[in-house]
């Protein structure tokens, strides 16, 4: 089955996850994101030590050009990393939406989160699973490939980028897990801040 702009006959709505309306779900996603933050921080730092064959990792940010006010520079670097992570994360979602639909995805920003969406399309299980999990996998693999080679002052920014991305994928992981628990033939429609799943009525 391929992505389609028409819901096949005999399908019915299984459920909708709407973080803009469901405060409990929004809270749960953020709690899960914090857990992922801690877990991936530990994992990526341990991995960096192994890949660089080092007993310790320099947990500091570079002070650009020797500017005074190291804390201010660190905060600025963190904001830049967060913004870059959001853009790249959603661009990867968008690329895979385009790959499966051959239509330009919709990008947007809602409060504290950004999104890529294909609101006019129904995607089968494995296509939507790839769309959902791809930023976590692609960015993590690229980051791990860079870890052995980046200079020491820039190692922590790379690790921070990877950790932010993994934490930001909390909602993606939850939706993909929910999707994989559904019966065969499930279709997903992503409107950006809400994902709806549809299944054959006979299930």
Domain positions in the chain = 18-200
Q: Give the C-alpha distances (Å, rounded to integers) separating 24 from 38, 166, 175, 192, 197.
A: 21, 21, 15, 18, 19
pLDDT at 68: 47
pLDDT at 185: 93
The β-bridge partners of 200 are 11
pLDDT at 33: 94
pLDDT at 22: 84
pLDDT at 67: 47
Which of the residues in the chain have pLDDT under 50? 65, 67-68, 203
Unique residue bearing structure tokens 């320099």: 58
Q: Tell me the pLDDT tens digit for each residue of 140-175.
A: 999 999 999 988 878 888 898 999 999 999 999 999
């Amino acid at each position: 089955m391929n992505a389609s702009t028409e819901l096949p006959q005999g399908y019915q709505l299984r459920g909708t996850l709407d973080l803009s309306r469901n405060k409990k779900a929004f809270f749960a996603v953020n709690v899960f994101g914090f857990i992922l933050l801690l877990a991936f921080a530990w994992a990526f730092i341990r991995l960096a030590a192994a890949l660089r064959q080092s007993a310790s990792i320099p947990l500091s940010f570079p002070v650009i050009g020797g500017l005074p006010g190291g804390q201010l520079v660190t905060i600025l670097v963190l904001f830049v990393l967060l913004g870059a992570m959001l853009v790249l994360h959603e661009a990867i979602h968008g690329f895979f939406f385009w790959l499966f639909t051959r239509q330009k995805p919709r990008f947007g920003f809602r409060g504290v989160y950004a999104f890529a969406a294909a609101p006019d399309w129904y995607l089968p299980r494995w296509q939507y699973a790839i769309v959902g999990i791809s930023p976590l996998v692609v960015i993590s693999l690229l980051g791990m490939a860079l870890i052995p080679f980046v200079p020491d002052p820039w190692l922590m920014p790379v690790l921070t980028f990877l950790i932010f991305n993994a934490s930001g994928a909390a909602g993606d992981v939850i939706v993909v897990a929910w999707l994989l628990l559904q019966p065969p033939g499930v279709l997903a429609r992503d409107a950006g801040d809400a994902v709806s799943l549809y299944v054959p009525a006979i299930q």
